Amino acid sequence: MIHNIDIKKTAVDTLELEANAIHKLINTIDQDFVDVTNTILNMQGRVIVTGIGKSAIIAQKMVATFNSTGTPSIFMHAADAIHGDLGIIQKNDVIIALSKSGNTPEIKVLVPFLKQTGNTLVAMVGNLNSFLAKQANFILDTSVDREACPNNLAPTTSTTAQLAMGDALAVCLQTCRQFSDRDFAKYHPGGALGKQLYLRVADLSDNNGKPFLAPEANIREVIVTITKFRLGATAVIDQGTIIGIVTDGDIRRMLEKYEDLSGLTALDIMTKSPKTIDREELAVEALHRMRQSNISQLIVVENNTYQGIVHLQDLLKEGII
């Protein structure tokens, strides 16, 4: 083991090389990039992304990003393609082939077959004079000055450039389609991320009770109601209008303030103008409002009509936090 290597400097040099490579890509965004984006937007099929070696791994990541942002996409390994996987390709598909050199044996064998299908072929390539580049309909230039690898061999800077170019294309497609967070949620229904994007306040509050009291309710009624519904609060309703909320905190403050509780009512101890949220809002928005106001409950409404209470614990149970 060599002990005199400056590890921090090596790491910084690597990141600087890769950052510079990505920055250099800005100058490669040309009309071909625009035409590729428009071709994919107008296609009737899917995007087929192919590559070999490390480029194949980047191709798989591109496919995952495309699919999750509204662009149907399939990965096809360049080596497997010439052994049967060419059947994946349909007549309306757009093919993106990734290769640093553009001259690997697998690519040279594959490209003529791709040309025979008549599909649009896009080369994401680091050598503009390569076999792949010359055969492609469009070129996405991912040329780099050198690899971060000290031997200038292991794909590092070049795959970073491919990854960034793929992300740029995916984001352009997503933006052109006006692909919203609601659309995104359709493709990410699982886990906390999915719940943040689709779970509504009503999905939580409808499972709770709807504790409420009249303003003249006595303290015993207030405490019994809060205890019964286990939401740490109850709404105070007067002739159908929400006029306040009584929380566990209000009860504690009452005990500190008053010696004689016998004549107190909900009206005396409630918090006026309570924070509310519409039942159709996303549950994650409820979390934001609770954090902003440093509270644990929100009154749930529909057209200003009381619908229930959503509690911080509801969000915890669903993994929103």
* Binding-site entries for Zn(2+): 77
What is Dmax (Cα atoms) for the chain? 92
Parallel/antiparallel/unpaired status of strands 212-213 and 138-141: unpaired
Annotated binding site: 77
Parallel/antiparallel/unpaired status of strands 138-141 and 233-238: unpaired
Q: How far is CA 63 from CA 39, 111, 170, 305, in A?
A: 17, 20, 9, 46
Question: What sign does the dihedral 289-294-298-304 (CA atoms) show?
Answer: negative
d(CA 103, CA 128): 11
Answer yes or no: are the C-beta atoms of 225 and 213 closer than 8 Å.
yes
Buried b (16+ CB within 10 A) or exposed e, 284-297: bebbeebeeeebbb
Amino acid identity at 89: I
Crossing angle of helices 191-198 and 283-293, rounded to 10°: 90
Answer yes or no: are the C-beta atoms of 140 and 122 closer than 8 Å.
yes
